[in-house]
Amino acid sequence: MAKAAQSAPTVAPGVSHALSNDRLLSMYRVMVLARAIDERCLSLQRQGRIGFYVPASGQEAAQIGCAAALRDEDWIFPAYREIGIALWRKVPFRALMDQFIGNSTDRVKGRQMPNHYSFRDHNFVSASSPIGTQITQAVGAAMAIQRRHVPQVTATFFGDGATSSNDFHAGMNFAGVYRTPTIFFCQNNQWAISLPRNRQTHSATLAQKAEAYGFSGVVVDGTDVHAVYDAVATARERALAGEGPTLIEAQVYRFGPHSTSDDPHRYRSDADVAEWKRKDPILRLREELRTSGALSDETESQLQEAVKREISESIEAAEGAPALDPMTLFDDTFAQRTPRLEEERAEFQRLLREGVIRP
């Protein structure tokens, strides 16, 4: 079990939910995939092939440790940095790539910036940019789950910065009052763009904020898949048993920039980054799997090969997909277009035809 908030974070000692080697290997695979996607997408962005990108490197153990402890029927309310969760949920990278491009096969129809994807069939709700808004929504969905009396939980994902948001406060409070089956999964990656964790709030841990709402918070080492998995599995069991919500603070580090628009050299030192990179969650798990004999050189290179291939093929396919039909602009504001939208659509179509508007 992870330690209570009041004490300093450590690697979880007596983990009560053990992971088989097979499972660990499949987790490792998704972590490697996530990391490789990150690296590739940063370079796609530099080449101007995608417009923007939000890397998640350094947070893979937290994300995949958490995702693995949830079930497919649990609803995910993500922020924009949750690629590991989506991949664990078997969202194909091709679908992510479609979203990064905003092409005709993009599930969100080119409506959002890269990384703000949504996959209803994977119970992966739509990410939005405004920080924290998903938190109250996850609590509301959990209230709906209570009303329907089904064995599900909702899990919501957010950063250290988001703990300052209005929705964190309201969501945590409602969850406490109604004892909702909600897991609040905070990836404390030490930074909210340029603001360090200790300037975000004066509390010793983020997990202890749960005290304000009458339920418990735990700190876990987010570079350790075992600790994360255990904390989430425990929280899930408690939620299903009617024992209410849990706040989990997974302590990690954002290795890369906040996004491709950010220059982290303005606010942090390379030494600080290097220090944390020694705890790279992928190296750590690789080390463990090699030591236990679960990962051979051959498996590793096959895996790396497969990941590379999947990525390249997906990019090619997504880039080859037709562009979005401009007329889709007028869909989905409402279920049915209002007369005004019909009128604007007709005007738009005319302007397109006349070449006044050019896609």
Partner 1 sequence: MSEMTLVQAVNRGLFEAMKQDPDVLVLGEDVGVDGGVFRATDGLIKEYGAERVIDTPLSETGIIGTAVGMALYGLKPVAEIQFLDFIYPAFDQIVSELAKFRFRSGGQYPCHVVIRAPYGGGIKGGVYHSQSTEAYFCHTAGLKVAIPSTPADAKGLLLTAIHDEDPVMFFEPKRIYRTATGEVPDGDYRVPFGQARTVREGEHLSIFAYGAMIPPASEAAAALAKDGISAEVIDLRTLVPLDEAAAVASVEKTGRAVVVHEAARFCGFGAELSAILAEKAFYSLKAPILRVTGYDTPFPYALENVYLPNAARIEAAARAVMQEG
Ligand X SMILES: Cc1ncc(C[n+]2csc(CCOP(=O)(O)OP(=O)(O)O)c2C)c(N)n1
Q: Which does 189 bind (CB under 5 to 8 A by kind): partner 1, its own copies, ligand X, none?
A: ligand X
H-type alpha helices, 111-162 = 133-148
Beta-bridge mates of residue 196: 191
- What b/e string do you get for 309-342 counting C-beta neighbours within 10 Å, with b at 16 or more? ebbeebbebbeebeebeeeebbeeeeeeeeeebe
Integer-rounded Cα Rg, in Å, for the chain is: 21
Q: Is 76 in the site for partner 1 (CB under 8 A)?
A: no
Pick one of 78, 161, 176, 281: the residue that binds its own copies (CB under 8 A).
176
Where in 256-285 is the site for partner 1 (CB under 8 A)?
261-262, 266-267
Applying CB under 8 A, the span of 11-19, 189-197, 204-212, 284-292 interacting with partner 1 comes to 189-197
Partner touching 258 among Mg ion, ligand X, its own copies, none, CB below 5 to 8 Å by kind = ligand X
Beta-strand relationship, 154-159 and 75-77: parallel
Residues making contact with ligand X (CB under 6 A): 81, 129-131, 158-162, 189, 191-193, 254, 258
Q: Which is nearer to Mg ion, 189 or 234 (CB)?
A: 189
Strands 191-192 and 195-196: antiparallel
- Binds Mg ion by CB under 5 A, chosen from 9, 159, 217, 244: 159
The least CB distance from residue 136 to partner 1, in Å, is 2
Query: Judging by beta carbons within 10 Å of its beta carbon (0-12, 13-18, 19+), is residue 171 exposed, middle or buried?
Result: buried
201 binds partner 1 (CB under 8 A): yes
* 160 scored as a contact of Mg ion (CB under 5 A): yes
Give the C-alpha distances (Å, rounded to integers) separating 151 from 145, 210, 240: 8, 24, 6
Which residue is associated with the tokens 């998704």?
30
The answer to whether 132 contacts Mg ion (rule: CB under 5 A) is no
Nearest residue (CB) to Mg ion, 30 versus 192 = 192
Active site residue 258: yes
Q: Which is nearer to ligand X, 183 or 307 (CB)?
A: 183
Longest dimension (CA), the chain: 70
Which position among 71, 267, 309, 350 bears the catalytic label? Answer: 267
Instruction: Choose the binding region for its own copies from 29-37, 149-157, 205-213, 300-308 (rule: CB under 8 A).
Output: 205-213
CB of 154 or CB of 223, closer to partner 1: 154
Tokens at residue 216, please?
């418990």
Region near partner 1 per CB under 8 A, out of 13-21, 26-34, 146-154, 225-233: 146-154
Q: Where are the beta strands (DSSP E) in 106-243?
A: 154-159, 182-188, 191-192, 195-196, 217-221
Kindly determine how many residues on this chain lie close enough to bind partner 1 according to the rule CB under 8 A.
89
Contacting range for partner 1; rule: CB under 8 A; set: 35-43, 83-91, 130-138, 289-297:
130-138
Single out the residue of 108, 273, 282, 317 in contact with partner 1 (rule: CB under 8 A): 108
* Polymer length in residues for the chain: 359
CA separation for the pair 291, 293 (Å, rounded): 5
For 178, other C-beta atoms within 10 Å of its C-beta total 16
Residues that bind Mg ion (CB under 5 A): 159-160, 189, 192
Active-site residues: which are they? 254, 258, 267
